[in-house]
Amino acid sequence: MEISKNQLLLKRLINVKAVVTPRWKEEAQQQLQAEINQLDSQLQQLEMQGQRMIGELKKQSLQPPGPETLVQIDNIQNQVNEQKSKLLDQKNQILQKLQQLQTLELEQEVPQGQIDSVFAVEQGDNLIRKMQVEILLRDGVVEEIRGDV
């Protein structure tokens, strides 16, 4: 980008939107399902780790376990339950997104995120208009650039 002495380079965030197409919907659904599968796997691992740690404690302690060991077991169980709760909350949020995805109409525009952009301004430019730029994608291809580039 060539810049003259009376110009200034600035950085802006550009909103990226996508047109809902059958392909877009399918890809979004697959991505959300992959996130759910990963969370399920983490939940399973967490449960196994918790059981293994409790099993180790029980092996190392007296039979029946003393009060100190019972407190340690309780602490481990509480930590496992706290982590499980966080993971289940994440899973529920993703399930809600999956439900919302089903209700989207074809050709509807949905936000995809933001990207940084550098642009030149000079005296007399309308800065507000130059800041309000967005990109519209259809199946990953730029369909339209809106605003004062």
* Residue that the structure tokens 């004062």 belong to: 148
Which secondary-structure segment (H or E) carries 112? strand 109-122
Residue type, 122: E
Bridge-based pairing of strands 7-19 and 134-138 is: parallel
pLDDT above 80 (res 7):
yes
Tokens coding 101: 């995805």
* Mean pLDDT in residue range 24-30: 96
User: pLDDT tens across 72-90, in order?
Assistant: 889 999 999 999 999 999 9
Tokens coding 51: 């059981």
Q: Could you tell me the pTM of the whole model? A: 0.75
Apex 136 CA angle, 35 and 34, nearest 5: 10
The CA–CA distances, whole Å, from 83 to 32, 50, 71, 135 equal 21, 11, 18, 39
Higher pLDDT, 111 or 62: 111
* Mean pLDDT in residue range 2-13: 87
Mean pLDDT of the chain: 93
Give the closest residue to 50 by CA, choosing from 81, 88, 90, 71: 81
Chain-centroid distance of CA 54 in Å reads 33
Query: What pLDDT band is residue 1 in, cutting at 50, 70 and 90?
Result: low
